[in-house]
Amino acid sequence: MNSKTINSLYEKLHRSLRGARSELVYDNPFQLLIAVILSAQATDKSVNAVTPGLFKKYPTPKALLGLGESKLKRSIQTIGLAPTKAKNIIKTCALLLEHFKGEVPDNREALESLPGVGRKTANVVLNEGFDQPTIAVDTHVFRLANRTGLAPGKNVLETELKLLEVTPKKWRKHAHRYLILHGRYVCKAKNYLCSHCVIARECEYPDKMN
């Protein structure tokens, strides 16, 4: 896909998804971090059903740490992998207090030192929480990038690096939002909606529907 086509692709996604933001509910970087940890192998909807009440009662790392692992596990039991996530969140809160004065760090290395935080989670926090031009690659973004020909890659890291390489600077800040939402609702794994796709003309997928 050439640079002119890539810019056109992003321009059309921008027009169709103007004002797009994460579908997770949060008010600050700490809440975003916890919500993204909880969202692993779970839907944003299931996370949003739990977090508003949780954050209202326990709005800080100190407060959430005070809740304790067992009570937190019960509070998030409707979300998948609750035992592991509760353990990671409690450890993360302790580390935030011990090493970062209770604040969420704004750099990748520090974020990835926290339990339950991998590269994708760090990218989401850096992008959504700190307005850094990172692109988090989840299953939706990976599928769309490969299917359309925007940034083909054998794995998520390869696709992420390719996306950062080919995405024009003006679109990098919001590219993650555009790609994930378009992949989630239009360029789906099955029953993809090519006939309703705003970037169908730019897409290189050989079997796209008319």
Q: Which of 106, 138, 169, 188 is catalytic?
A: 138
* Residue that is written with structure tokens 């059309």 in the block: 12
73 a catalytic residue:
no
Q: CA separation (Å) from 173 to 113, 124, 130?
A: 24, 11, 10
- d(C-alpha 126, C-alpha 158), whole Å: 19
* Residue that is written with structure tokens 């994460």 in the block: 22
Secondary structure of 44-111 in HEC code, one letter for each residue: HHHHHCCHHHHHHHCCCHHHHHHHCHHHHHHHCCCCCCHHHHHHHHHHHHHHHHHHCCCCCCCCHHHH
Q: Which of 62, 120, 154, 190 is catalytic?
A: 120
| Single-letter residue type at 122 | A
138 a catalytic residue:
yes
> Annotated active-site positions, please?
120, 138
